[in-house]
Structure 1
Amino acid sequence: MTTRDPDIDVIVVGAGNAAACAAISARNNGASVMMLEAAPRDARGGNSTYTAGAMRYVFNGVDDVLSVVPDVNPDTLANTDFGTYTEDQFFDDMFRVTQFRTDPDLCELLVKRSLPTLQWMRQQGVRFQTSHGRQAYKIDGRFQFWGGLSVEVWGGGPGLVDMLLDSAEKKGIHILYETAAVSLIRDNNEVIGVRVRHNGGERDLHCKAVILACGGFESNAEMRARYLGPNWDLAKVRGTRFNTGAGIQMALAVGAMPCGHWSGAHAVGWDQNSPAFGDLAVGDAFQKHSYPFGIMINARGERFLDEGADFRNYTYAKYGREILAQPGQFAWQVFDAKVAHLLRDEYRIRQITKVSDDTIEGLANKLEGVDRDKFLKTVAAFNAAVRTNVPFNPNAKDGRAADTSPRKSHWANTIDTGPFEAYAVTCGVTFTFGGLKISQDGQVQDTAGRPIPGLFAAGELVGGLFYHNYPGGTGLTSGAVFGKIAGEGAAAAIAETKSRSAA
């Protein structure tokens, strides 16, 4: 069945953070909007629903923080040093962690529009809170923030999705659930609609512009193996099962230019026995991100990376790949009692793969799949190499190193005080880095570098921002920034077309 619906200006494919920001932005700029969500309502929101809600943005002091979170408790405010996170710092982080490959034009939009976009989100009904529980440690009675992150969304990912989609519905945006986009409809070179599948049948929905914001290909095992490489089909998926790369494939089918790091992905240490896809009841708590305070060992009983190379915000998204490359695609994170109080809340959930013992020898006996004798030798060598004369400081790159191979650059503590704990992790893939080439107004470009009329994109399926690695909290910010841009771009293109027609 083909249905022309001239009342729909913009169709947004997806219903997560980027999609909702695009839909709201387009609606605020005068366009009528419909959203398509492949998932049922209780699983809506794509990967956004599974996030912790941290958002990286530029803040030059407490006034910028308060412009996003105006209701900070005065006592908390008086006992907190937020520091700053300047544009230069954001740029430096993006270029450093991507090995200077990030697209400079897109990166500039991301950085310079980060604070205004969070302020805009607040105006649309999104509530934020400070990240005291995740990004600050108390030193001498005063909280000190680290790692460039100061705020997160109230209620995490589920709260973000609910607040954004509630706002969208209040603005008259209709959301179709269990409605998967199948292909784009074209009239000559212009995109004029989407073919959708619902309840086993297909139909055409026509519009004046389409915004693709339906995620990368992380939930597609075949595409992971094809583009990311061997054994990536064995990785766990941290989030939704619905991000199968359909939006990317639809765009490529109409001549869109592939862009970005197609063999790269955001991938972390994730509980070894977690389910194949994300569990909303657990959320992001299967992640295990306190590794800078311990050591990580593989099946051979050996360390294989620098657990303290940088703040975990700048290493966690690449260490999933390192774990996947180990024998059996797993590792154990090992901690002793001296740092147990620093472990994040995710280490205390019920659904966890954990062993503990009062002695290191007893712990070694419980590390399933690990060479016991080699592990004990590794611990002994590591302990002997720790610079115990350097003070330990979890808020700073403290230079407390272990001069062994591989070196641990910061936060090295001897593993010698029981009880000892160990947690089994594997690779959990979050999102893929390869995607579509877009212009600075969010319009998808073709393989000749020309804009495809009527087609815009935002979120994970935008290529060119992230290579090799990723600064924590940048994904939601990127989705919001480029979602807002795509919505504005689509509405402006429609208004221009109407203006020409009227003339």
Structure 2
Amino acid sequence: MTETYEADVVVLGTGPAGMAAVSAAAAEGAQVVAVEAMDHIGGNAVWSTGYLAFVNSGMQAEQGIVDSEETFVADARHMVDLARDQFGIEWDEALVRLYARESAETYRILTERGVRFSRFIPRPKQHSVDRMAAVEDTWMIGRAFQPDFERDNVTTLYRTLADRLVVTDGRVTGVLAHRSDDPDATIEIAARNGVVLATGGYQSNPELRRRYQPEFVARAPYLGVDSCRGAGHLMGQAVGGDLINMTFVPPLVIVSSSVVEDAIAVNESGERFHDEAGPYEERVEKLHAQPGRRAWYVVDSVVAKEKDGLIGQMPEPAVQADTLDGLAATIGVPAEALRATVDRWNAFLDTGADVDPDHGRVVLPPNRRKCATGPFTAVPMIEGVNFCCGGFRTTTDMQVVDVFGAPVPGLFAGGDCVGGLNPVSDLGGIHICGGLTLGRIAGRAVARGVDDRSDHGSVMHAGMPSMLDTRIALVHLEPAVENHAAGNVP
């Protein structure tokens, strides 16, 4: 038997972008149907470390931090320029500026709904001013939007997977879906105004990643929920959506940033070898430089107990020993060197200095707590992926643009289904806040019936001057032809 639903707005996915889209559309009075693969809202955000970057936020104002749209755009442009040698990148400066203008409103909404931020996380190599804030408890983000899903004008279909978009007379008018426990039963959802793609990225789909990455990279470990399979990307692509930045799946060392705050990393010599909380690409480079690419994060029992869930999510199991000497024996590093490394780190924390003199680290443990209480834990450092940056070109109302530069009627996107903002995500704090910020704009636009018909440009017929001059080529060919005709060429 076919289930049927009808709404003004259909939102696929309830991670940061989906939650914000549902909230904004429902606040406009629209009837909303949300489709969620898991049994709760929040997506990857509620399982994450919970860093969000806001521009001109109330938190910055309280601490006297001066920020601006131009400062943020300059920081973003710098990150894009650094990545151009590794990936083909198309960033959308208009979306980056939109994020800069609207993220402070995201901060206001979150804090009014009870989300608390403990502190700024300094990342001077990425953010030139402090703007990346740490959530006290990431599940606060999901709880902040739960009341929206309990409104009379919102219906949520949990454990439901979207299969394809319905197109009528060139317009996206609905979705076909199925329950995860009943794949043969079709669910038809009609969308009077439109559909928002907010299904997350494609990190957990190695077959899709293999289309854009070498196979050994595409099958690298992934940290996050397993519902990020690129469903929105494939459905939108099927109706003409223009995907960009799909090869931009940056490698990183798989570890929660919350664990990194308290950890030091040691190599086979038992010594630190980099800024553990530095830029993601630098962490990977430094790991590659170690013999056998072998290294470990080391924490004490206080951190291991507090962050047991995050440590348990890492690709390889942790090992533990009562003493540092015992831990050194377990992982095969010199005991004297490991003790000296930990002692030096703890001595630095005692100094009160802001910058680690050995590797320039500025992200320090909360309250400068030391690695001092046994038993001690070590977790192998493993390269994998956490984020992907590919998604659709969109307008600034988040309407998906097709391969010819025309907005697709009735189709919108948010979060990791959007390709124009995520190339700047190595700044840190962009994925969650970008989802919440641009998702809100998408939900509001669909509820209001936005239907952009303008031309947004295309790569169709783009080209460069040829290096081959046809006339010269023919001149070079003529002697060979004459020789062949005279029988001089076999």
State TM-score, norm by structure 2. 0.72
Look up the equivalent residue of 2:431 and give its one-letter code.
G
> 1:185 matched to which residue of 2?
166
> 1:78 matched to which residue of 2?
none
Choose the corresponding residue for 1:289, options 256, 260, 264: 260
Change in 2 beyond 3 A, CA 1:328/1:433: farther
Change in 2 beyond 3 A, CA 1:61/1:316: same
Q: CA deviation at 1:331?
A: 3.0
Structure 1 alignment gaps of length 5 or more:
66-81, 137-145, 271-283, 402-407, 498-503
Tell me if the contact between 1:214 and 1:247 (Cα under 8 Å) persists in the aligned partners: yes
Q: Distance in 2 between matches of 1:86 and 1:332?
A: 37
Change in 2 beyond 3 A, CA 1:4/1:488: same
Choose the corresponding residue for 1:162, options 115, 138, 143: 143
Tell me if the contact between 1:330 and 1:424 (Cα under 8 Å) persists in the aligned partners: yes
Look up the equivalent residue of 1:448 and give its one-letter code.
F
Confirm whether residue 46 of structure 1 aligns to residue 55 of structure 2. Answer: no
> 1:250 matched to which residue of 2?
235
> 2:79 matched to which residue of 1?
97
Change in 2 beyond 3 A, CA 1:120/1:237: same
Structure 2 alignment gaps of length 5 or more:
83-88, 123-128, 365-370, 454-490
Q: Distance in 2 between matches of 1:4 and 1:323?
A: 52
Look up the equivalent residue of 1:289 and give its one-letter code.
V
> 1:354 matched to which residue of 2?
319
Confirm whether residue 262 of structure 1 aligns to residue 226 of structure 2. Answer: no
Q: CA deviation at 1:264?
A: 1.6
Look up the equivalent residue of 1:112 and give its one-letter code.
R
Q: CA deviation at 1:117?
A: 2.2
> 1:128 matched to which residue of 2?
115
Q: Distance in 2 between matches of 1:119 and 1:446?
A: 34
Q: Distance in 2 between matches of 1:303 and 1:228?
A: 33
Matches within 5 A, 1:73-112: 82-84=63-65, 86-87=67-68, 88-99=70-81, 102-112=91-101
Q: Distance in 1 between matches of 2:415 and 2:234?
A: 15
Tell me if the contact between 1:441 and 1:485 (Cα under 8 Å) persists in the aligned partners: yes
Choose the corresponding residue for 1:231, options 195, 200, 216: 216
Q: Distance in 2 between matches of 1:129 and 1:108?
A: 25
Q: CA deviation at 1:467?
A: 3.2
Look up the equivalent residue of 1:110 and give its one-letter code.
Y
Tell me if the contact between 1:14 and 1:212 (Cα under 8 Å) persists in the aligned partners: yes
Tell me if the contact between 2:176 and 2:188 (Cα under 8 Å) persists in the aligned partners: yes
Q: Distance in 1 between matches of 2:150 and 2:286?
A: 42
Q: CA deviation at 1:345?
A: 4.4
Q: Distance in 2 between matches of 1:258 and 1:349?
A: 32
Confirm whether residue 203 of structure 1 aligns to residue 184 of structure 2. Answer: no
User: Counterpart of 1:215 in 2: which secondary structure?
Assistant: coil
Q: Distance in 2 between matches of 1:446 and 1:395?
A: 52
User: Counterpart of 1:231 in 2: which secondary structure?
Assistant: helix
User: Counterpart of 1:98 in 2: which secondary structure?
Assistant: helix
Tell me if the contact between 1:269 and 1:320 (Cα under 8 Å) persists in the aligned partners: no
Q: Distance in 1 between matches of 2:450 and 2:7?
A: 11
Look up the equivalent residue of 1:214 and give its one-letter code.
T
> Which 10-residue stretch deviates more, 30-39 or 417-426?
417-426
> Which 10-residue stretch deviates more, 469-478 or 239-248?
469-478
How many residue pairs get aligned? The number is: 424
Confirm whether residue 222 of structure 1 aligns to residue 207 of structure 2. Answer: yes
Percent identity, aligned pairs only?
Answer: 25
> 1:454 matched to which residue of 2?
410
> 2:52 matched to which residue of 1?
55
Look up the equivalent residue of 2:329 and give its one-letter code.
N
Look up the equivalent residue of 1:203 and give its one-letter code.
I
Tell me if the contact between 1:3 and 1:206 (Cα under 8 Å) persists in the aligned partners: no
> 2:473 matched to which residue of 1?
none
Look up the equivalent residue of 2:47 and give its one-letter code.
Y
Look up the equivalent residue of 2:260 and give its one-letter code.
H
Q: CA deviation at 1:332?
A: 1.1
Q: CA deviation at 1:46?
A: 2.0
> 2:131 matched to which residue of 1?
148
Tell me if the contact between 2:13 and 2:197 (Cα under 8 Å) persists in the aligned partners: yes
Matches within 5 A, 1:65-76: none
Tell me if the contact between 1:211 and 1:486 (Cα under 8 Å) persists in the aligned partners: yes
Q: Distance in 1 between matches of 2:339 and 2:81?
A: 32
Change in 2 beyond 3 A, CA 1:44/1:302: same
> 2:30 matched to which residue of 1?
31
Matches within 5 A, 1:242-391: 242-265=227-250, 267-270=252-255, 288-290=259-261, 294-297=264-267, 306-307=274-275, 312=277, 315-316=279-280, 319=283, 331-334=295-298, 345-346=306-307, 351=312, 353-356=318-321, 363-367=327-331, 372=333
Q: CA deviation at 1:457?
A: 0.2
Matches within 5 A, 1:388-403: 396=354, 398=355, 400-401=357-358
Q: CA deviation at 1:52?
A: 3.4
Matches within 5 A, 1:366-445: 366-367=330-331, 372=333, 396=354, 398=355, 400-401=357-358, 408-410=359-361, 422-427=378-383, 429-445=385-401
Q: Deviations over 1:349-397 (max 9, x none)?
A: 784613457566x654321xx6x57x989999x99xx99x99987774x
Q: CA deviation at 1:17?
A: 1.7
User: Counterpart of 1:180 in 2: which secondary structure?
Assistant: strand
User: Counterpart of 1:55 in 2: which secondary structure?
Assistant: strand
Q: CA deviation at 1:47?
A: 1.2
Tell me if the contact between 1:260 and 1:465 (Cα under 8 Å) persists in the aligned partners: no
Q: Deviations over 1:384-426 (max 9, x none)?
A: xx99x99987774x3723xxxxxx344799xx99988643232
Q: Distance in 2 between matches of 1:421 and 1:239?
A: 22
> 2:486 matched to which residue of 1?
none
Q: CA deviation at 1:316?
A: 4.4
Q: Distance in 1 between matches of 2:251 and 2:218?
A: 15
